[in-house]
Amino acid sequence: MKKGLLTTLSCSLGLWAGAQWDVPTNVQLNGAVANDRQVTGVAAPTVPDAGVSAASARTLSANFGVAQGQDALSVSLTPPPSNYFPGLMITLVTTQANHDDVSLSVNGLPAVPVRKFVSEPLDSADLRPGVPYTMVFDGTVFQVTSQLEPSCPPGTIGFTRDACIEASTRDSLSYYNANVACTAVNGRLCTMDEWIQACLRVPGFLTSVTAFEWSDHAANFSGNAKLMGYDGVSPLPDCRAGGHTDPFNLRPYRCCFER
């Protein structure tokens, strides 16, 4: 495009509230100075085939959104995509941490699974509020390309960004043997704080508590070890309740693992 055409276009756009530029051939920006080799005034795109300005591209305005929901996420983009296609890239921010496996729906299109490391479902708290995550549709699922925490071992649930806890209790052992058993599988006996966090955050955790469980924490009682899950009075389990007993008694327990 020569300088004269750019000048004419700029004047025309100034006369009307809206305008459309249809160029059926290659455009050459070859003005003598830099200001004559640019197209300005391109608004943010509103339809899929609209032109995208450098500002829109840099801010990802057509591919960024705040996702609603927790595990069944939905996000709206402008312009809205008419379908999913391989290579569709979306960056989103969630408003709350996920509890479990995640799916994503874009502008009302059918929800599709979200995967990490090619084929793995997301763990609890993989998506944290306020953190941007980039995902690419591969033709079947959305692949998370942003860095995520490593997966939890089989049979465990991620309850923080750093730790996983076993979903069910192990057979009763003494406090000392429970510590040894967890170490043997590259884990450790969960601390009282970790046990409480997992109980409060993991759906269904409290229903799996059927007896006092060992935790690796001071009992505040000479010679005893710390128990979690009950208060010794109520017949119902409680995430914040606990007690203490002789460490040689046999109690169920769970192992925790670093992610």
Give the CATH number of the domain where residue 213 resides.
Answer: 3.10.100.10
- Segment 58-73, tens digit of pLDDT: 656 678 999 999 999 9
End-to-end CA distance of the chain: 57
- 49 occurs within a structural domain: no
Largest CA distance in the chain: 92
Helix then strand then coil, in percent of the chain rounded to 5, is: 15, 25, 55
Whether residues 168 and 244 share a domain: the answer is: yes
Query: Of the candidates 119, 144, 169, which is a domain's last residue?
Result: 144
pTM of the predicted protein model: 0.51
Among 10-24, 69-83, 117-131, which is the least confidently predicted range?
10-24
At 5, is the pLDDT very low, low, confident or very high (cuts 50, 70, 90)?
very low
Q: Which amino acid is at 119?
A: S
User: So what's the pLDDT on residue 26?
Assistant: 74
Q: What range defines the domain where residue 94 resides?
A: 64-144
Amino acid in position 56:
S
**φ, ψ (nearest 5 deg) of residue 199:** -60, -40
Task: Tell whether the model's pLDDT for residue 186 goes beyond 90.
Answer: yes
Asked whether residue 184 falls in the same domain as residue 254, the answer is yes
Using an 8 Å Cβ cutoff, are 244 and 221 in contact? Answer: yes
Domain count within the chain: 3
Task: Look at residue 6 in the predicted model and tell me its pLDDT.
Answer: 39
